[in-house]
Each structure stands twice: as C-alpha cells, then as structure tokens.
Amino acid sequence: MRLNKDRIKRDIIKELQTERAINIDEASKLDIYYALSSLMKNYIYENWLKTNRQYIRNSEKQVYYFSMEFLMGKLLVSNLINIGIKDICQEALKELNIDLNEIEEIEKDQGLGNGGLGRLAACFMDSMASIGVPGHGCGIRYSYGLFEQKIVDGYQVEFPDKWLQNENPWEIKRKEKSVKVKFGGNVRVIEEDGRLKFIHENYESVLAVPYDTPLVGYKNKRVNTLRLFSAEAMEQDFDFSNFSRGKYIEAFEYKHSIESISQVLYPDDALEAGRNLRLKQEYFLVSAGIQSIMRTFKKLKKPIEDFHEYIAIHINDTHPALAVPELMRILMDEENLGWDEAWNITANTISYTNHTIMSEALEKWDVEMFKSLLPRIYMIISEINERFCRELWNTKYYGDFDKISQMAIIAHNQIRMAHLAIVGSYSVNGVAKLHTELLKKQELKDFYDYYPYRFNNKTNGISHRRWLIKSNPKLTELINETIGRDWINLPTKLRKLLKYRNDPAFQERIYQIKQNNKIKLSNIIREKNGIDVDPGSIFDIHVKRLHEYKRQLLNVFHIMYLYNSLRENPHFDIYPRTFIFGGKAAPSYNMAKQIIKLINTLADKVNNDSRIKDKIKIVFMENYGVSLAEDIIPAANVSQQISTTTKEASGTGNMKFMMNGAITLATLDGANIDIKNAVGEENIVVFGLNEKEFLELYRSGSYNSMELYNNDIRLKTILNQLKGGFFSVKKDELSIIYDSLIKHNDEFFVLKDFDSYVKAQKKIENLYRNKPKWREMSIVNIGSSGVFSSDRTVYEYATGIWKMNLHNGYY
C-alpha cells in the first residue's frame, strides 16, 4: 500500500467520521488517537495475515518467548516508525493542526512488567519482527500493570495502574481461540491396553482467553504476534442457574476468584513471592500458551515426534518453568506418547535464560501447596526428579548423597524451579559475560559440571529503534545525515561515527542536541516537580528499580558529602550538577522505601538552601517507567551504573544511556564490563572493587564497616546526620538505613566503595570541564553502542539456541 500525506489526511478524516461519528474540528485527542491507530491497523493487518499465512505455508520453525512480563510502553509512535510512516504522518497531522506528540501523550503505557526482564522481552519482540525471526510473545494480560507510584510527603505511595481504562486499540480479543486451564482436583490412575492412564477429576476450569497484539517489524512487512491471556470463568460454571437459589452473591464471588488470576502483576522483582496466586498465574500462562501452540502445530500436519523441529519455547527466567511438565503432560496424556518420547521432545524444545544470581529471587514452591493446586503436574515433576536423581547416581555421583540432594529438583519439601528449568531444557544462558561466568563457577556450578555444553552466554541488548530512533529523533537525524542510514538495519555500523570524534563541528552539533534534550527534560521537571534546574549543569542520572544492591545510597552519600563540603566552605570547587533519580520500590520492601524518603528529604533540604547557590539540585521523578525513560535518557550526561560488583546480572539501562551519548559511571559489574570493552577504558569512568576483590573480601569475612565509619570523617558525618536531627523527619525515621550499614555490616559494600566513588565523581567533573574531551567521549559511546542492539542479541539466540535459518540480507 503506497501512502502519502494527502491520503493519510483523508483517511484520518474519514476514520473519524465512520468510526467515531465526529468531524475533525470537534474531535478530541482521544478521538484522533483512536482514528490514527485504527487506520494504522488497516496498514498492519494485511501484513499480519500474510506473515501468518507464510509461516504455515512454509512450515517455518516458530519461537515462542514465554514471559510473565512484557513491558511494552506505548505502541503508537513505535508502530509508525516501524511501518515507515512516522514522518509523513506527523506532517499530515500538522496540516490538520494536530501535534503527534500530544496524541502520543493520550496513550497509556502498557506496563506489564517490573523492570529489566520485562523490558528485555519487549525489546526482543521488536527485534524478532525486525530481523525476520518468526517469533511470538506469550504472556498474561494483567488488568493492572505495575502500580503507579506517587510521592506523598517524600514517601512512595502505590496506586493501581488502570491502563485498560480506555479501550486498548492494539489488541484483538480472540474468544474463539480460548483454552481451558485446570486447577485442583485429583488424579485417578487406570490401566488401559497395558498402559497407565491418568484421569484428572474434580478440577476447576479457567478459561484462558487470548488477546493478540501485532508486532510490527521495521519496514519489512513482517508482523509477529504478542499473545496475552486473560482469565475468565467458564460460562456454564458461572451460569446463575447452576448456583442454587439464594447463591446469587456466591456466583459473583466465584467469577471474581477465577478472574483474579490475571488481575494484577506481582510487583516484586527479586523477593520471592511464593504465593498461591502467583503459582496459579505461572501455570495459567504455560498451560494456555502450550495448548495454543499445540493447535497451531496441528495445522502443519507434521508428526508429533518432530515437534521440536518446528517449535522452540524459550522461558524468560524460571517463572514459566512449568512449561517443562506441562509439555510432558500434553504429550503423554493428550497425545499418548510414552515418557521417553515425550521427554526427548520436551528437552529439545525448551531453552531457559537466567536473569539473576541473587538467591532471594530463585523460585521455590512448597510441595503441599503445589500438589493440591496442580496434582498431575506434581506427579510429572516427581517423576522427572526421580529419573534425574537416579541418573546422577548411576553416572557421575554414585553414592554421593550430598551432591544428589543439592542438585535434586525436589528437596526439603520444596520444588526448585531453576533445577527444573535446567534439567528440562537444552540450553541455559546468562545475560552478560560476567554473569554467565558466575553461574558456571558458583550459583549453578553443579549443573555446569554435569551439563557443560548446555551453558552459554547471550549478552543483553536493547532496541535501538525505541531507544534511539524513537526517543532521540534529533540525534537520529544527525547520524543519518553524517553516515547514512545503513546503521538502522545493522547497528554496528554506528562505528562510522568514530571518524568524527574530534571534529569540532560535529562535536558542537552533538552538544546542541544534548542541550535541547536537557532543556526539554528541565521543562518536564518544572511541570512535574516544581523544581527549576539548570540545563547548563551536569545531568547526572540514576534511574532503575530501587534496590540495595543497585546502591542508590552510594549516590546519595556522595551528594551529602558535596553538600556538607559546600556548607563548610562556600568556595568549595564544584561544577553545577543536577542529580536525577527515578524508580519504584517493591511495596513490601521497607529499606528501599526508606531510601526514597531519604532522597526526597535530602532534595528538599538541598534545593532550598540558598547558601549553596543552586550548585546542586536533586530531583526524584515519580512513576519511572518506559515513557518517562524515553524523556530522561536522551538528556543524560552521566549514567549511574553503580551496583555492588557481581550483583547486577547485566543491566540494560546502561546500554540505553550509552547509545544516547551519556558517559557511564560504573562498577565492573554485569554488562558495564562489556560496555567498557566496547568503548575502551578512556571513555568510561570505573570505580570500586572488582569481582576478584569483592569475592575475596566477601569470603574472608574480614569486612568491617564500623572501621570505615570511624576512620573516614566524611562517612562519619553523613551517617550521624542520618541518625540525629539533621533532617527534619520523625525520630528514628531513617535509622534503618544507619543500622543496615553499621549494625548489619553494610551487606552491599556502600561504605567500602565510597572513597573510590568520590574520586570517580571528581574525575567525571574534570572531564566535563574539558569540553572537547567530553564530547569526544560522548561520540565514542554512541559510535560503539551498536553491538548492544537487541538485534544482535536476538540474532545470537536465533542461530545459537533456537537453530533457525534466517533468510535476511543483513544478519
């Protein structure tokens, strides 16, 4: 379909009339948003149908990416970009006196994820469609995404995220493709034709209703599918006539209890939820997802024994690890395969990514709870466990009870999901080099020793379409003008920019673009926070989930140190700086919430202290999420990536900042190390303990935070300020922070890295004062960021793990 400006104008006007019954001069922004999305769907659907038809016709292998989280953000502009009509659409709207940015504002973020893992899934969807991987997302359509954060009196307060309040124009409900998911009941075993049969009885059925969203590839006419399931009560079960008279209210209660399964996303991203409802959600996802895949597979009319030749199922962390027993159940109980055949298919279909080494985040389920909710699945896991333990005994670990119980899937009355995921899959990957090495050497060492060939690394990436082309259009324009447009399909070609690193004219333009982005962000800050910040100051940004290991505290302590120094000595030399924070704390994570309170309390004090003459400003931006990130990241000078070494599996924010020309202030953790290797030591500022030093200190148990407190007057002052009267907060308010650092010996080595961090910050300041140097570094960062495109990552998954043949001109 050839599109031009006039045609788009005409289509919008017509769409408003026929679909919204309104003329353009009366239309609200919401009307325009719906009209625009509706006409885009006309452009998308044709290719969606073609893509699906082609997949079936050619029997191309399909990947299904199972994830409890998809943090998609807004889709309107990103779809316009990928269809290839953003510019003409923007012009067409302009001629109708409509500003595309204002229409975009109307759209609610699709925030069905906590943070890194959910956003990674969203970037992968974009990359799969764009580089030509037949791949689809499979998840839950939560009625409420991650809570909306408001800051009230300095504290985080959570509100429900009503993202579906207005109709979501991108999804199509496909009620006719619903499947049944069964919970509870009992399993009766009978013998039939010499084989055992397992009859699941007295269960409760839940209807999993799919909602499909098209995933539009970048200018390649390919459209994949994101399928999210919503839980509904089965109509016959819910039928009021089935409830005896007088049970009217109970009928509704029943309906609600069923629908609660897809009601809300769990807001914890590291602390194990361990709850019955969460387990229901996880099984709901995998059962609905695999049943739906089975239906598609049947259309190919291929022998079931070859299932894994046509289907790959990837599990995003262990949350969908029940895919292993669920696929076994379907193959055995519904397709009548024997155990060995079913196991061969399953273990060749499923692959698994680990995203964290923090033991708190490793999922475990209580056996009793599990058994009563999923009796048949429990039987299958028990059998997998028994066979696995027997195999260990018969092969490598004869007589070694300890080793076998350490590796078992079920032990101490718990089911260990990571062990299930590893045993039931053919590939296990970490998300950055260091992370994968740590999995092999430590957390999953036993499994690495046993299955070395299963382990591999796939360094994370981000979609350069969303995180550069969409979020930083001016920088994109400059890049296109300077090196052409090849880099869009092959982002490593951004390297061509390196040639201009010392070109004063180019440096000046890079600087101007950054300046404009900073002005835009300053306006947002003025509007949202009522704080005036100086776009001429260094924008030093720390945005991500709130976690002790991510060490927002270290940043805060440095600011307190600067503030104390300025108060003591008004001539203390400092380049003006704006410290920007953003991030949500899990609602039950007290310490993280106290850190938010501390940041806001400090901000109040510092921002209103006339003695320091606006040399420091502190801003906490509420409700950090995908769209806010798109405004913040292009405006950053400094990217704070300062986790305690070994704790951050990869990080992906670090890549987004780098791609937008910020300089990373980093510990040698996660993908920071890969960034350092990509840009070279001179173009990143590194500090703190490295992996080896950290592990030595950690293992020796010789760290004593009290000593640092006693010997470093800066730290002593700061910590004492937390305790007594310095901040006008209730008595003992911030003392849990003090206690964690002093009484509980500073688990995340904040005090240990403090001195090194202060020096690194000084180095940042000196570099910033040297304008040509800073601009050069910024260009080198942009030019080296192509390897962190998720196109590269997905290409590696597709060829290295999923064994797909890609017919693609670029990759």
* Contact between 356 and ligand 26Y per CB under 6 A: yes
Cβ-based nearer residue to ligand 26Y, 73 or 116: 116
Query: Which of 60, 272, 486, 614 is close enough to bind ligand 26Y by CB under 6 A?
Result: 272
* Contact between 228 and ligand 26Y per CB under 6 A: no
Binding part of the chain for ligand 26Y, among 116-124, 399-407, 677-685, 797-805 by CB under 6 A, reads 116-124
- φ/ψ (deg, to 5) at 425: -130, 170
Q: How far is CA 491 from the centre of its chain?
A: 21
Binding mask 162-201 for ligand 26Y (x = CB under 6 A): ----------------------------------------
According to the 3-state scheme, what is the secondary structure of 253-320?
HHHHHHHHHHCECCCCCCCCCCCHHHHHHHHHHHHHHHHHHHHHHHHHCCCHHHHHHHEEEEEECCCC
Cβ-based nearer residue to ligand 26Y, 286 or 345: 286
Decide: helix, strand or coil at residue 186: strand
* Residue whose entry in the numeric block shows the structure tokens 């509100």: 159
Tokens of 178: 């619903």
188: part of which helix (H) or strand (E)? Answer: strand 186-192
* Contact between 273 and ligand 26Y per CB under 6 A: yes
Please state, in angstroms and rounded to a whole number, the distance separating the CA atoms of residues 681 and 674: 11
Interacting residues with ligand 26Y between 620 and 659 (CB under 6 A): 648-652
Tokens of 415: 């089911």
- φ/ψ (deg, to 5) at 153: 55, 35
Q: Is 412 a catalytic residue?
A: no
Q: Is 544 a catalytic residue?
A: yes
CB of 70 to ligand 26Y, least distance (A): 12
CB of 376 to ligand 26Y, least distance (A): 23
* Contact between 592 and ligand 26Y per CB under 6 A: no
Cβ-based nearer residue to ligand 26Y, 268 or 503: 268
Q: Give the count of residues interacting with ligand 26Y (CB under 6 A).
A: 23
CB of 210 to ligand 26Y, least distance (A): 23
Q: Is 652 a catalytic residue?
A: yes
Please state, in angstroms and rounded to a whole number, the distance separating the CA atoms of residues 810 and 792: 11
Cβ-based nearer residue to ligand 26Y, 106 or 270: 270
- Among 545, 593, 615, 647, the one annotated catalytic: 545
Nearest residue to 740 (alpha-carbon basis) of 640, 594, 607: 594
The residues near 393 (Cβ < 8 Å, ≥ 6 apart) are 399, 404
Please state, in angstroms and rounded to a whole number, the distance separating the CA atoms of residues 619 and 598: 12
Binding part of the chain for ligand 26Y, among 113-121, 184-192, 513-521, 600-608 by CB under 6 A, reads 113-121
Cα dihedral across residues 43, 45, 46, 48: positive or negative: positive
* Contact between 661 and ligand 26Y per CB under 6 A: no
Q: Is 656 a catalytic residue?
A: yes
**Sheet bearing 538-543, strands edge to edge:** 616-621, 577-582, 538-543, 638-641, 663-666, 685-686
- Among 136, 182, 227, 355, the one annotated catalytic: 355
* Contact between 355 and ligand 26Y per CB under 6 A: yes
How far apart, in Å, are the Cα atoms of 287 and each of 88, 276, 768?
43, 16, 54
Cβ-based nearer residue to ligand 26Y, 641 or 778: 641
CB of 624 to ligand 26Y, least distance (A): 14
* Contact between 437 and ligand 26Y per CB under 6 A: no
The CB-side HSE value for 449 (13 A sphere, CA atoms) comes to 13
Q: Is 545 a catalytic residue?
A: yes
Cβ-based nearer residue to ligand 26Y, 355 or 518: 355
CB of 125 to ligand 26Y, least distance (A): 14
Cβ-based nearer residue to ligand 26Y, 265 or 560: 265
Binding mask 300-339 for ligand 26Y (x = CB under 6 A): ----------------------------------------
β-partners of residue 488 are none
CB of 643 to ligand 26Y, least distance (A): 8
Q: Contact at 8 Å (CB) between 322 and 284?
A: no
CB of 265 to ligand 26Y, least distance (A): 9
Binding part of the chain for ligand 26Y, among 43-51, 171-179, 184-192, 356-364 by CB under 6 A, reads 356-364
Give me the long-range contacts of 337-345 (CB less than 8 A, separation at least 24). Answer: 337/304, 337/305, 339/383, 341/305, 345/304, 345/305, 345/307, 345/308
CB of 655 to ligand 26Y, least distance (A): 9
Binding mask 118-147 for ligand 26Y (x = CB under 6 A): --x---------------------------
Tokens of 757: 């961090």
- Among 141, 547, 550, 593, the one annotated catalytic: 550
- Among 136, 227, 454, 544, the one annotated catalytic: 544
Task: Determine what percent of the chain falls in helix, strand and coil, rounding each to the nearest 5.
Answer: 55, 15, 30
Please state, in angstroms and rounded to a whole number, the distance separating the CA atoms of residues 396 and 382: 21
Opening angle at CA 49, ends 212 and 136, nearest 5: 45
Q: Contact at 8 Å (CB) between 500 and 465?
A: no
Nearest residue to 563 (alpha-carbon basis) of 527, 609, 513, 530: 609
* Contact between 115 and ligand 26Y per CB under 6 A: yes
Cβ-based nearer residue to ligand 26Y, 129 or 671: 671
- Among 644, 652, 667, 793, the one annotated catalytic: 652
* Residue whose entry in the numeric block shows the structure tokens 């499923």: 350
- Among 119, 308, 542, 656, the one annotated catalytic: 656
Among all residues, whose Cβ is closest to ligand 26Y? 116
Cβ-based nearer residue to ligand 26Y, 114 or 784: 114
Give me the long-range contacts of 345-348 (CB less than 8 A, separation at least 24). Answer: 345/304, 345/305, 345/307, 345/308, 346/424, 347/424, 347/425, 347/426, 348/308, 348/426
Q: Contact at 8 Å (CB) between 566 and 525?
A: no
Cβ-based nearer residue to ligand 26Y, 589 or 768: 589
* Contact between 431 and ligand 26Y per CB under 6 A: yes
Query: What is the 8-class DSSP label of residue 398?
Result: T
Q: Contact at 8 Å (CB) between 464 and 791?
A: yes
* Contact between 349 and ligand 26Y per CB under 6 A: no
Cβ-based nearer residue to ligand 26Y, 90 or 555: 555
Cβ-based nearer residue to ligand 26Y, 738 or 802: 802
- φ/ψ (deg, to 5) at 209: -100, 120
CB of 271 to ligand 26Y, least distance (A): 6
Query: Which of 424, 670, 688, 786 is close enough to bind ligand 26Y by CB under 6 A?
Result: 670
Binding mask 232-271 for ligand 26Y (x = CB under 6 A): ------------------------------------xxxx
Query: Which of 37, 47, 67, 114 is close enough to bind ligand 26Y by CB under 6 A?
Result: 114
106: part of which helix (H) or strand (E)? Answer: helix 100-106
Q: Which residues are catalytic?
A: 355, 544-545, 550, 652, 656
Contact positions vs ligand 26Y (CB under 6 A):
114-117, 120, 268-273, 355-356, 361, 363, 431, 460, 648-652, 670
